[in-house]
Structure 1
């Protein structure tokens, strides 16, 4: 009996040791498939975090809405039933109107190094901090490509937007974007977009190139304007209930790992975009890339109106963030 007791004690000590148990486990849900860029780089982050915490922090990843749609995952983070999510900013405006600043066209510089400087600088930090009173702890912005425009009517110059109808996500800022170009915008659910294009409910739409190719919009659209006008950003969010249980050194490891993989994330996304552009060109779309002068004219035509729409939506916190952005953007441009 004495030997049996010693054996039980030894086994118990082994099971409770660091080699057999994670001290902090986080379920992280998101919308993309396991084959897409977001999940691939979440796996890389999970490996880095596990290695650098000696296995004390484990990320369990749930792609393709396995834990619910994005609203359900956002609410799970707020309530503490889900430890984390990587959410498109477009799905967070209802929880935090301040994040809708990312809908303003040409908000981020075309140069990726300058764009990353904004993400990691005072503007990006203030944007992340705006989630704190929403029951969310946001730690990083992850770039997920840029939007471009398709239409069944040519867009050879800025004036060609006039009198066209474009589908947008349900965003006051995006609606104002097209209004400023003398076009009209209709909020249509993503799942209904193909049919809306096919039947002529709208003339065109805006989406990243890989989405345009994957959803086969080239079958029902003739023209592609490679404009890069809209930033598609993900927000990395954890539940404060879970995050605040972590030692500070583990918090730093996690935050650093999410930032560290961004260059590879951007490069892989660009490769997917390049493949998509080849595919839609081969499918017969008329492809035209905007010139730097056209992009500057697009920004000038839309920035004031969309900024005003944003501030009317986000109020004083939105204006404060816009002021931080303006100062930082102008400093980067010098």
Structure 2
């Protein structure tokens, strides 16, 4: 067993042994550091819960309790009460959630995107029952920022990704998407990515700008490419049995805290992308940051239909209905 897993096991043993005397402490794990977007959301949620109830919220940033698959399992088993995790990792359990990896499906305008996540019938009505089947209460989904490629060589089109080993999350549709882009998708746990780039095992990865900056991915890559192909989506969930067992008063506290944290994190991200890119350029002046033109993006956009068809094949029983509703939701928001 690795040191990380041993440490996580020790922490969990302590939590479980103290559960009986800490019944009013809710445990919340997420995939990022405390000062990154998921951490900021979690801190606001904690603040709201503790201000409006007698409960306290204990936060566990990335690495505290293991990798993404570990914290999801701990939430399903009831060790954790809350978890924030991208559909990139829940896609194996909930194949319909892979829809968020169809390239060029989500709008690039941040205001439109925020409204979509807040009002989408697919997200707020169709997804919760699918999560419930896995012992999870879907509390909200929110965007974390435009996804950008970071690579060791410049990228201006799919040809530049030929034979490039590109790290992706362990998500079948994301693998399909980067195969369609021309790359060699390489699923890796996040904890291994920096070292793999440093040693040349892989030559690229994707993430929002704030995450590229905070995790110093620019140190082991030389080029950032803005192809406009996606926006990073994440989901906040609760253990279903825990949530259903809350009193009406406590459930209202949780729901209200989620709503406040959602509004907060949308405002927090205003200008965050450009600010993060400026920090990257300041830290590494040689880093190139390229926004592809519409003409340069078109070959990438041309792959969207094939990835969408793959989603319909592997995306579960409700794949077509989810995709149709998402498109209807997006059209409704755009028309506003």
Q: TM-score, normalised by structure 1?
A: 0.81
Residue aligning to 2:290: 288
| Segment of structure 1 superposing worse, 118-127 or 176-185 | 176-185
1:245-285 CA-to-partner distances (Å, cap 9, x unmatched) read: 22334323322321223343134345543333113323111
How far off is 1:169 after superposition?
2.0
Structure 2 counterparts to residues 97-246 of structure 1, below 5 A:
97-120=95-118, 121-125=120-124, 126-157=126-157, 159-162=159-162, 164-246=164-246
Is this contact kept in 1: 2:140–2:258, CA < 8 A?
yes
> Distance in 1 between the 2:75 and 2:191 partners?
25
Check 1:131–1:152 CA distance in 2 against 1; reply closer, same or farther (3 A cut). same
| SS of alignment partner, residue 91 of structure 2 | coil
> Distance in 2 between the 1:245 and 1:111 partners?
39
Larger radius of gyration: 1
> Distance in 1 between the 2:186 and 2:33 partners?
28
Residue aligning to 1:257: 257
The runs of 5 or more residues in structure 1 that have no matched partner are 1-20
Residue aligning to 1:317: 318
> Distance in 1 between the 2:261 and 2:80 partners?
23
> Distance in 1 between the 2:58 and 2:194 partners?
34
Q: TM-score, normalised by structure 2?
A: 0.80
Is this contact kept in 1: 2:114–2:266, CA < 8 A?
no
Residue aligning to 1:79: 77
| SS of alignment partner, residue 178 of structure 1 | helix
Check 1:211–1:37 CA distance in 2 against 1; reply closer, same or farther (3 A cut). closer
Please state if 1:329 is matched with 2:330: yes
Is this contact kept in 2: 1:149–1:205, CA < 8 A?
yes
| Segment of structure 1 superposing worse, 78-87 or 58-67 | 58-67
Residue aligning to 2:3: none
Check 1:27–1:151 CA distance in 2 against 1; reply closer, same or farther (3 A cut). closer
How far off is 1:195 after superposition?
4.1
The runs of 5 or more residues in structure 2 that have no matched partner are 1-20
Residue aligning to 2:9: none
> Distance in 2 between the 1:260 and 1:41 partners?
9
Check 1:156–1:111 CA distance in 2 against 1; reply closer, same or farther (3 A cut). same
Check 1:79–1:158 CA distance in 2 against 1; reply closer, same or farther (3 A cut). closer
| Segment of structure 1 superposing worse, 31-40 or 92-101 | 31-40
> Distance in 2 between the 1:262 and 1:293 partners?
35
> Distance in 2 between the 1:47 and 1:190 partners?
28
Is this contact kept in 1: 2:89–2:170, CA < 8 A?
no
How far off is 1:227 after superposition?
2.9
Residue aligning to 1:278: 278
1:92-139 CA-to-partner distances (Å, cap 9, x unmatched) read: 223222212122223321122322232232021122332011111111
| Segment of structure 1 superposing worse, 284-293 or 317-326 | 284-293
How far off is 1:67 after superposition?
3.8
